[in-house]
Structure 1
Amino acid sequence: MENTTTVTTAIKQDTNELFPVFLKLDQLNVLIVGGGKVGLEKLHALVHNSPASGITLVATEISHAIKTLVQDYPKVELHERPFEESDIEGRDIIIVAVNKRDVSASIHEIAKRSGKLVNVADTPDLCDFYLSSVVKKGNLKLAISTNGKSPTAAKRIKEVLNDALPAELDEVIRNLHQVRGKLNGNFENKVKKLNALTKVLVESDSSFSEKRWKRVASYSVAAFAFMLIGHFIFSYLPLQVIAEKTLTLYRGLDANFHWMVLAGFLAQMVDGATSMGYGVTSAIALMSANVSPAAISGSIHTAEMFASGASGYSHYKFGNVNKKLFKALLVPGVIGAVLGAVLLVKFGETHIAYIRPIMAMYTLVLGIRIFITAFKKSNVKKKFKRYGWLAGAGGFFDSFGGGGWGPIVTATLITKGRTPRYVVGSVSLTEFFVTLASAFTFFTLIGVQHWQVIIALIVGGLIAAPLAARLNGKLPRKASFILLGVVVVAWSIRILVRAI
């Protein structure tokens, strides 16, 4: 009996007794002390969950990663100097991310004397609260705590839940919110109705097992039906005939079809990682075949529509898209693309000698500025309000000049201090709608030409799109800026040389 009591007591002592609370952080003042990797991790967690938070970060040295991060968060203040006791004044929450334990303990003592809530990184004994790993699906947010014992385990559990919970849960929550507002009756009656509606979310294992077996049965029937269809097809079309037809079709392809696929792959790798260069890279193959300017632009935009769609979706999935920037670029970009396509078909080749050199000179200056920016210590965000004019010009030149959406829009925004990762992601997603509008206009006016080139570019682009989006944001800041500069300068010089 005594042993049982001892074991029970031990289990109770090892229980997580923390009380979870979700704070309205935008109504509080937060101080972070420390500007290294730990400070970056804490700051990223705060602004990711509450972008409007008022945060002050103090450190003797602040990393480039932090300076880059805060460009999109105007309420975050950076002070590159030693911590002072007066920094505590007016703060509600203190987060200490300093490597030196004696300094952390000293700051903790100062904060506690002022009655502040304190979190000291990697020191549970000096923490009034812990920053949890968070799973976020729209309005749904789950906080994970291991009682300060293993943040790594919490991160792994977060990854599991992120994959397991469907994105549609947010739509379910919004729908239930609307249902809740329309329900009549007393509180008890409303609870019963909502419980009945949400019962499907907590179905038993047997229900899930039943659904799983239904899916297995459905797939089995579909497989059997596919076998029957295949039997009837092969009864009238023997395998030898199908093989001969396939071989004949393959031999009928353009001799440069493989190189076209490679061109589409390389073009999308560059475009997906830097949001520029697809049209330029693809146009090399088409120009060598003496294709007319309207057909070049039409073919590239038809193929690019599929590649940019895959690229834009990949960027959105990996969190590279700034929604406000996307909305600001969308409509003007589409209008410019339609206008450029119409004028190109109407005026034919007469514009080439005048428009491309002007555009190349502009992008050459931007490319040089990107190189200069790559070697600066920090990139201060500048005010820029002409998003509509910029997108309209980019869309117009992209259709009218045979390329230029990425070099014009992406390069301009980056030279204005916008974060490259979100610029590339947002511009890539917008590019799908711009190319869709351009391709639709060309199709309406001149139809589809050079279908083999289009198919080859589509195949290569679809293969490269997820890889390029995955690479975006992974390169160091300096390397990504240098890569962008190389693409822009090379594209500009090539156009100028051809003009001369």
Structure 2
Amino acid sequence: MTTVTVKEQNELFPVFLKLEHLHVLVVGGGNVGLEKLTALLQNSPRTTIKVVATQFNEAVLQLAQEHNTISLVLKPFSPEDVAGADVVIVAVNDREASREISLEAKRQGKLVNVADTPDLCDFYLSSVVRKGNLKIAISTNGKSPTIAKRLKETFNEAVPEELDEVLDNMQSIRNRLAGDFSAKVTQLNDITKVLAVNEKPNPVYQRKERPWKKIASGAALAFFFMILGRFVFSAITFDEVSTFVGNIEPIFYWMVFAGFLAQMVDGALGMGYGVTSTTVLLSLGVNLPAISGSIHTAEIFSSGISGFSHYKFGNVNRKLFKVLLVPGVIGAIVGAWLLAKVGEEYANYVRPILAAYTLVLGARIIYTAFKKNKERKKIKYAGVLAGAGGFLDSFGGGGWGPLVTSTLIAKGRTPRFVIGTVSITEFFVTFASALTFFTMLGLSHLEVIVGLVIGGMLAAPIAAKLAGRLPMKTMFIAVGSLVIIWSLRILLKAVGLF
């Protein structure tokens, strides 16, 4: 006799409720109740919610103050509390009490969810991926909320923010289509077929096209850096190079270390080249104009390669690029001009201010490591942000990546497109800053520039290999701690305590 094994399946029926039209009862005002309240408000912020508990923690009280749709009732649960509720969520840390509340709610015909007790639930609260109007709910049939959470993180990265714009465009197209329902469905299917069907190109054509595409890209990149190298090194005479090679001082090796460390950080996190190298060079006593000019000269090469790579792999949001480009370049030019005018005369005043600035950036990086995912918010002043980033990048020798990248990601933008777009924009910002320094100060401090370039070249392949392999949280904490330590050292030195 053959035994047939039936594979278990998820038989839950997925629905999306308009909770703003319903009343929800939450029993419990502790950490579990807070978690349920937060989930409700993130997805349906206009929901009418009554919370019954014998005590409320501070976070629940704060939510009630921020949302006038939440009412708190300080008392033990009683059957009368269920009256008027459409949905009941039990969030108390007592299994027997949870069972009794669940049975009472079901007796009154209400749908019930009991935290961490699947057998008492009529429905589960799913992990939700939200991209504007698009919402994806994830269920593991109550078996593993942790897996649902990890899948949510994966989908958050994989689904581009631009898909929300696609939905808006599709709605406009749908409203303009003529014909009956069947005709509209056919036309919309034809339009969206590209999202579901990957048509394979002709293999013969593909074999012919790919080598020429690589050759064209390589030639364009080589020509670009040939022109760039000619521009940069036309300001350096052979005698200067000979003198430099014959008189290498120990500080040169510190420059190599600074370039190596900065590129490691930037390659792994997509930010931090200027901040890291600036804090190292400030610690070594290099003056501010030399720091900013040298960093931007060296960074032209790394940002050029990085930006080209991101563009080639489709990581650039063109709309965001256009918003960031002009303000970023203008800010960089203004910052470089002002620093060249101020010069070393005010360096002793600016250095501790800059150290305080990098200290704040270090704290911000660490905060980012522990910050929970937030829903996407519209960025109203991206141009102003780019201008400030460009200015601080030139005037302080760093800040474009940490300021612009971290702000855009904190607003809910997809990291892949943020890092790619900010990286390609950084080349133009860096080039504008370096060109301003060349025009006003000429090219000096060769040992700083060469050291940063060599260090960056050594670190680039290592950083590329590590990127995506080390835990991002660990990297953020390590970088933030390093920047804070260096910044504190400069501040303590400024007040005579170091």
Matched, 1:347 2:339: no
1:437 maps to a residue whose letter is V
TM-score (norm. length: structure 2)? 0.57
Question: Is the aligned partner of 1:489 residue 2:488?
Answer: yes
Amino acid at match of 2:453: I
The reply to whether residue 446 of structure 1 matches residue 435 of structure 2 is: no
Q: How much has 1:183 moved relative to structure 2?
A: 0.8
Of stretches 392-401 and 185-194 in structure 1, the one that deviates more from structure 2 is: 392-401
In structure 2, runs of 5+ residues without a counterpart are 219-240, 311-322, 368-380
Contact 1:29–1:90 (Cα < 8 Å) also in 2: yes
Q: What whole-Å deviation, never above 9, does each CA across 1:155-207 have from its counterpart, x for those lacking one?
A: 6776887788777765654443232122112223212222333345555xxxx
Q: Is 1:400 paired with 2:395?
A: yes
CA contact (8 A) 1:332 1:392 kept: yes
Shift of 1:338: 3.8
The 3 A distance-change label for structure 1 pair 272 and 473 is farther
Partner amino acid for 1:121? A
1:244 matched residue in structure 2: none
Q: How does 1:24-39 map to 2 (within 5 A)?
A: 24-25=18-19, 30=24
1:218 aligned onto 2:202 = no
**Equivalent-residue separation in structure 1 for 2:204 and 2:399 (angstroms):** 49
The Cα offsets for residues 36-63 of structure 1, whole Å up to 9 and x where unpaired, read as 8866765665566557767787878999
Question: Residues 58, 15 of structure 1: CA spacing in aligned structure 2 closer, same or farther, 3 A cutoff?
Answer: same
Contact 2:22–2:48 (CA<8 Å) still a contact in 1? yes
- Summarize the Cα distance change of 1:286–1:101 in structure 2 as closer, same or farther, 3 Å threshold: closer
Is the CA contact (8 Å cut-off) linking 1:302 and 1:454 kept in structure 2? no
Alignment of 1:461-472 (within 5 A): 464=463, 467=467, 471=471
Q: Which residue in 1 is equivalent to 2:293?
A: 298
| Match runs of 1:8-407 below 5 Å | 17-25=11-19, 30=24, 42=36, 46=40, 49=43, 84-85=77-78, 92-109=86-103, 111-112=105-106, 116-134=110-128, 136=130, 139-148=133-142, 172-201=166-195, 203=197, 211=200, 214=202, 218=206, 222=210, 260=255, 262-267=257-262, 278-279=273-274, 281-283=276-278, 293-301=288-296, 337-358=332-353, 360=355, 396=391, 398-403=393-398
Look up the match of 1:455: 453
Question: Residue 179 of structure 2: SS of its match in structure 1?
Answer: coil
Give per-residue Cα distances to partners, 1:301-359, cap 9 Å, x unaligned. 45567579979x99xxxxxxxxxxxxx99998876554322111233322213332455
Paired amino acid for 1:455? V
Tell me how large the CA RMSD over aligned residues is.
Answer: 6.5
Structure 1 contact 335–392 (Cα < 8 Å) conserved: yes
TM superposition score normalised by structure 1: 0.56
CA drift of 1:360 comes to: 4.8
Give the SS at the match of 2:124.
coil
Matched length: 425
Letter matched to residue 399 of structure 1 = S
| In 1, Cα distance between equivalents of 2:427 and 2:75 | 51
Q: What secondary structure is seen at the aligned counterpart in 1 of 2:453?
A: helix
1:59–1:83 CA contact under 8 A, matched in 2 = yes
Secondary structure in structure 2 of the residue aligned to 1:198:
helix
Give the direction of change, closer, same or farther, for the CA distance of 1:296–1:131 in structure 2 (3 Å limit).
same
Q: Deviation digits for residues 84-110 of structure 1, max 9, x if unmatched?
A: 558768765433344431122233245
Match of 2:313 in 1: none
